[in-house]
Amino acid sequence: MKGQREIIVARAVREVRDGMYVNLGIGMPTLVAGAIPEGMNVMLQSENGLLGIGPYPYEGEEDPDLINAGKETVTAIRGASFFDSAESFAMIRGGHIDLAILGGMEVAENGDLANWMIPGLMVKGMGGAMDLVSGAKRIVVIMEHVNKHGQSKVRKACTLPLTGSGVVDRLITDLAVFDFTPEGMRLIELQPGVTLDEVRQRTEAAYTVAPELHNGEAAVKGGAIG
């Protein structure tokens, strides 16, 4: 049986298309790189100055000078390029990144994202998240649906400091997939084996249900929630 992260990553990789320039946030989003189908032409960008990230190196073959934004050792694919951080952020701020897949601590029903700090805990910095949510063409957030205390992370309003306001295009959790539209938050897909009741019970945010709601490969009847 797949774990929560495997379920989320397997769904997130379906957001990636051939020819895209993609930025993967630190943590769970980095796992998407290893799930991209063989033969798909995707350029992974890291805000610390690398375009063309390859797979993780084998043990013993790590290069300590070759890291991603999360300070993990990586490899570079053929044709990769290296540049300074200013050039990297110019790519992001200039709208040249097709897709950013980011982790989240909370997402609100209006598309607000909180993913960079928890007050009272040590924070090394905001990284590139604030630039990514304002500069990338499409923002997909991936996270567990509830926190370790069983509280919903899909909220009416974020309680943590915001990374960006109204910036999320799609949210993928271990329970469901939501889109954010001018009409509000919409449930478009259930993860395999998940029911509408489960999502309803674990979601604080108000949302509507797409007329054709997918659960794995099957479509089920949609409706309105709260």
In the chain, the DSSP E strands lie at 21-24, 43-46, 50-53, 76-82, 99-103, 106-108, 113-114, 139-142, 154-155, 170-172, 176-181, 184-190, 207-215, 218-221, 224-225
CA-based nearest residue to 169, from 90, 226, 112: 112
**Which of 15, 47, 106, 189 is an active site residue?**
47
Say whether 198 is catalytic.
no
Instruction: Dump the DSSP string for 144-210.
Output: -SB-TTS-BSEESS--SPPSBSS--SEEE-SSEEEEEETTEEEEEEEPTT--HHHHHHH--S-EEEE
Length of the chain: 226
Active site residues: 47
